[in-house]
Structure 1
Amino acid sequence: MSRTEHPAGETHVSFEGVQKTYDGETLIVRDLHLAIRRGEFLTLLGPSGSGKTTCLMMLAGFETPTSGEIRLNGQVINRLPPHRRNIGMVFQNYALFPHMTVRENLRFPLSVRKLPAADIDRKVSRALDMVKLGALGDRYPQQLSGGQQQRIALARALVFDPELVLMDEPLGALDKQLREHMQLEIKHLQRELGVTVVFVTHDQSEALTMSDRIAVFNQGVIQQIDDPATLYELPANNFVANFIGENNALEGTVESVEGSLCTVKLDSGQRVQASLGNPVGEGRRTVLSVRPESIQLNVQSLGCANRLGGYVREITYLGDHLRVRVELAGRRQIMVKAPAAQHKHRFDTGDAIHVGIDPGQLRALEPAPGQ
């Protein structure tokens, strides 16, 4: 198994106008249009009930779209049974057969495909070596740790050389350190093999770590699909800004728009300059989004176009950085992540403080419905 080069941007899987309802009224997935590129690692990210897992199950063949088409290599697969789609699956609960050894678990998908015995043995050994568990082939799943079981589940999904692998919260049962290790391992393996991976998670940091692109779902609709950096730094709307990473929200009214910048009068009465996110016109309400690490404090704030006064309400020391809760005028509180080396012992709880935000780091977005 070596890396396969693919034509740049070639569509491997597409959802075209796909909808899914179970009761004929509530749409779990609504009018989904999504093109998944061959060889990419795409993550479907969103809260529980947002439709991401339903999309994965429709692609796997365990659910049927109510309307629309799902295509694999250009062919409609809506009615194709799961075993004929040549798709590998990895689940959170591993789904290993407890009465079979590790090697027998890996042989199973190959024997179902009626491969010659010599080919089966070769592929099983290769898959075990790939996940660095070649010595454990004769053990049973219950004799393995959680991390080892997850590796075996991954090897079983890859053993028959599928062109597409689907992963449904595969690392959810692992502890934090092992989970982070497996994130990198899966990503390295995916790059090496050149296989297309569609990965479902509700864990934003996992999505940012592993993905080429992330599709953020809410209420059955993709809110934004982009590479991790764009998604984090340029959220398309209020939902994405709040769901991806940590976010501070300041509310106000747009007073004027000039090019890509706007002047906003905050509800506290202060005026700031911000960059335009989705279209917000003059006189409209807006929510300004800014990341905690993009806010400068005291001396570091002097060169910023926007400077606001406030009071330190809480300081948490986290080794390399401080988390500083600042109360601005109007009693609005924001969270600031500041490098510890710059600020340690420079201010204390209750002190007056200046915060600075550059317009490029302050993003004006339309308020979410009902906000």
Structure 2
Amino acid sequence: MANDVLVSFRGVQKSYDGETLIVKDLNLDIRKGEFLTLLGPSGSGKTTSLMMLAGFETPTAGEILLDGRSLNKLPPHKRDIGMVFQNYALFPHMTVAENLAFPLSVRGMSRTDISERVKRALSMVQLDSFRNRYPGQLSGGQQQRVALARALVFEPQLVLMDEPLGALDKQLREHMQMEIKHLHQRLGVTVVYVTHDQGEALTMSDRVAVFHQGEIQQIAPPRELYEAPHNTFVAQFIGENNRLAGELVSHDGEQCVVRLARGEEVRATAVNVGAVGEAVSLSIRPERIRLNGHSEACPNRFSGRIAEFIYLGDHVRIRMEVCGKSDFYVKQPVAELDPALTVGDLVPLGWSVEHVRALDPLQVE
């Protein structure tokens, strides 16, 4: 497998003041042709890691390899890496075509080659008719397309994107997510993408690395990250999550029993638990909870009071009071919602053992 690794971070650390580590001990292999997203809250180390790979930051310790070669002493322009930023960074005094030609002329290409590549890059992002316009005459979405084409025009083996869609409105952003994803599939280039938007990460990536406090908490394909979080931070950060605090009563192989604060017992999948008697955090996704008659076959059954309905078009979020928690959410497709339910109703609800995960207790920061 080693030969399909394009980038390797080995024991990489970064500190700006010699004391606090922004990136603690990063060991990460990025595969050729994959779309890897670095996801995490502000200050988690994801952008710093990207900037070290680009060459705009230097690691305090450790080594970064690209195709087996150490990058530590190589300046950014010699790394064969394309970059796309949130602010586009286009040259305002150059036309679209001139912006795209720039990275090629810097590399000493002939005029014929340059014109051929610029033409190809423009049609790739569907901007053929905009070649003679200036960035100021383009919309945000068009400017971002030009920035994308400019990062791809010299056919780098690696493209880095730092929050590239952050400035766009929701609809355009979602359109561009799919466009970048399809472009990646077509070109087979390796993409490392930074975002704090978990929906974006889940939509676009082959794998997602979740950063928190300078460390990768989990790296996995989107579905696995969502359905099978390794710890409470990942469960809380990715998607909606109901969290119940309790203590471990018993642990038998893959299953365990957890007692909640008011004495209720939950049978759960044991993922990341300590010894019997220690604190545990239970994680249950809102869409995995069954209401009324649908809950009869569930091994974990309780009753809850309906506090609020939140309509979101295709589905409804129901806020309930369950097991002493006033913000326990159930998510149901509109088509499956029982129209007789009203605020104040006491209803049975339940969930299966494989959909409740026993994880580490949430650290209070």
Q: Which residue of 1 aligns with 2:70?
A: 76
Superposed CA deviations along residues 256-280 of structure 1, whole A, max 9, x for unmatched, are 1111010111112111100011133
Q: Are the aligned partners of 1:106 and 1:155 in contact in 2 as well (CA < 8 Å)?
A: yes
The 2-side partners of 1:330 and 1:86 are apart by 56
Q: Which residue of 1 aligns with 2:127?
A: 133
The 1-side partners of 2:295 and 2:338 are apart by 16
Q: Please point out which of 128, 140, 143 is paired with 1:146.
A: 140
Superposed CA deviations along residues 122-161 of structure 1, whole A, max 9, x for unmatched, are 0000000000000100000010010000000000000000
Matches within 5 A, 1:102-113: 102-113=96-107
Q: Are the aligned partners of 1:280 and 1:364 in contact in 2 as well (CA < 8 Å)?
A: no
Q: Please point out which of 244, 268, 273 is paired with 2:262.
A: 268
After superposing the two structures, state which structure 1 stretch, 158-167 or 302-311, moved more. Answer: 302-311
Q: Which residue of 1 aligns with 2:356?
A: 362
Instruction: Pick closer, same or farther for the CA change 1:331–1:51 going to 2, 3 Å.
Output: closer
The 1-side partners of 2:208 and 2:198 are apart by 10
Q: Are the aligned partners of 2:208 and 2:221 in contact in 1 as well (CA < 8 Å)?
A: yes
Instruction: Pick closer, same or farther for the CA change 1:252–1:89 going to 2, 3 Å.
Output: same
The 1-side partners of 2:274 and 2:181 are apart by 38
Shift of 1:234: 0.6
Instruction: Pick closer, same or farther for the CA change 1:331–1:193 going to 2, 3 Å.
Output: closer
Q: Are the aligned partners of 2:273 and 2:280 in contact in 1 as well (CA < 8 Å)?
A: no
For the aligned residues, what is the CA RMSD? 1.2
The 2-side partners of 1:210 and 1:53 are apart by 18
Q: Which residue of 1 aligns with 2:239?
A: 245
TM-score normalised over the length of structure 2? 0.98
Q: Are the aligned partners of 2:283 and 2:359 in contact in 1 as well (CA < 8 Å)?
A: yes
The 1-side partners of 2:132 and 2:337 are apart by 56
Superposed CA deviations along residues 99-133 of structure 1, whole A, max 9, x for unmatched, are 00000000000000000000000000000000000
Matches within 5 A, 1:178-217: 178-217=172-211
1:96 aligns with 2:90: yes
Give the letter aligned to residue 141 of structure 1.
P
The secondary structure found in structure 2 opposite 1:313 is strand
The 2-side partners of 1:316 and 1:273 are apart by 29
Which residues of structure 1 form unaligned runs of 5+? 1-6
Instruction: Pick closer, same or farther for the CA change 1:266–1:93 going to 2, 3 Å.
Output: same
Shift of 1:9: 7.3
The secondary structure found in structure 1 opposite 2:120 is helix
Q: Which residue of 1 aligns with 2:45?
A: 51
Q: Are the aligned partners of 2:269 and 2:355 in contact in 1 as well (CA < 8 Å)?
A: yes
Q: Which residue of 1 aligns with 2:118?
A: 124
Give the letter aligned to residue 278 of structure 1.
N
Q: Please point out which of 104, 108, 114 is paired with 1:114.
A: 108
Q: Which residue of 2 aligns with 1:4?
A: none
Q: Please point out which of 208, 219, 229 is paired with 2:213.
A: 219
1:229 aligns with 2:223: yes
The share of aligned pairs that are identical, in percent, is 62
Shift of 1:282: 1.6
Q: Which residue of 2 aligns with 1:314?
A: 308
1:256 aligns with 2:250: yes
Q: Which residue of 2 aligns with 1:3?
A: none
Instruction: Pick closer, same or farther for the CA change 1:329–1:67 going to 2, 3 Å.
Output: closer
Q: Please point out which of 152, 176, 185 is paired with 1:158.
A: 152
The 1-side partners of 2:75 and 2:188 are apart by 25
The secondary structure found in structure 2 opposite 1:132 is coil
1:167 aligns with 2:189: no
TM-score normalised over the length of structure 1? 0.96
Give the letter aligned to residue 124 of structure 2.
M
Q: Which residue of 2 aligns with 1:349?
A: 343
After superposing the two structures, state which structure 1 stretch, 104-113 or 327-336, moved more. Answer: 327-336
Shift of 1:8: 9.3
Superposed CA deviations along residues 48-106 of structure 1, whole A, max 9, x for unmatched, are 00000000000000000001000000010111000000100000000000000000000
After superposing the two structures, state which structure 1 stretch, 208-217 or 279-288, moved more. Answer: 279-288
Give the letter aligned to residue 165 of structure 2.
L
Instruction: Pick closer, same or farther for the CA change 1:49–1:146 going to 2, 3 Å.
Output: same
Give the letter aligned to residue 273 of structure 1.
R
Which residues of structure 2 form unaligned runs of 5+? none
Shift of 1:332: 4.3
The secondary structure found in structure 2 opposite 1:49 is coil
The 2-side partners of 1:76 and 1:150 are apart by 31
Instruction: Pick closer, same or farther for the CA change 1:297–1:85 going to 2, 3 Å.
Output: same
The 2-side partners of 1:258 and 1:343 are apart by 36
The 2-side partners of 1:12 and 1:227 are apart by 18
The 2-side partners of 1:322 and 1:9 are apart by 48
Q: Are the aligned partners of 1:14 and 1:36 in contact in 2 as well (CA < 8 Å)?
A: yes
